[in-house]
Amino acid sequence: MLVVDGSGHVLGRLASVVAKRLLEGDRIAIVNAEEVVITGKKPSILATYQAWFRTRNLANPRKGPFHYRRPDDLVRLTIRGMLPKHREKGRKAYRRLRVYVGIPPELEGRELTRIPEAEVKPGTRFIKVGELSKLLGGKF
């Protein structure tokens, strides 16, 4: 199992690399999901996610869509969007993914992998997924 440290990685770049590795058959665990960053200006990112949260099914709001607020769920949802989730290979790949807030006890002491092409560049504006989650009302 590949254990990826999410701190300091850009969400979209991390998700695309992880999605490709999952489709190749690797089992991946992402730790420190609250430290993954989304690049851009904070007000515009927040406005985008708040507009997404206002989306409701007018016929019956209890039927969805359901929006996640926890950072591990936001990272997992981004990776799921890059997998062919309606095909069997995409569903199997998604089952091989684990995302955690912090480092769980069963993964402590394991070597954490960094993905160089997904790391944030110096001088880039960003907001951490954990901070975004708290602004959206997530409890973690």
| Tens-digit pLDDT profile for residues 8-58 | 999 999 999 999 999 999 999 999 999 999 999 999 999 999 999 888 777
Provide the pLDDT confidence category of residue 92 given band limits of 50, 70 and 90: very high
**Given strand 2-5, what is the order of strands in its sheet?**
2-5, 28-31, 97-99
pLDDT on residue 97: 98
CA dist., res. 121 & res. 76, Å (int): 23
For 4, the enclosing helix (H) or strand (E) is strand 2-5
The type of residue at 133 is S
Q: What is the chain's mean pLDDT, rounded?
A: 95
CA dist., res. 48 & res. 64, Å (int): 19
Provide the pLDDT confidence category of residue 59 given band limits of 50, 70 and 90: confident
**In this model, does residue 96 exceed pLDDT 90?**
yes
pTM (2 decimals)? 0.92
**Cis, bond preceding 84 (omega within 30 deg of 0):** no
Question: Which range marks the domain in which residue 126 is found?
Answer: 2-135
pLDDT on residue 55: 83
Tell me: the pLDDT tens digits for 104-117? 999 999 999 999 99
Provide the pLDDT confidence category of residue 63 given band limits of 50, 70 and 90: confident
Provide the 3-class DSSP secondary structure of residue 37: strand
For 77, the enclosing helix (H) or strand (E) is helix 71-80
pLDDT on residue 34: 97
Instruction: Specify if 140 maps to a domain.
Output: no
Instruction: Specify if 68 maps to a domain.
Output: yes
- Total structural domains within the chain: 1
Write the CATH number for 89.
Answer: 3.90.1180.10
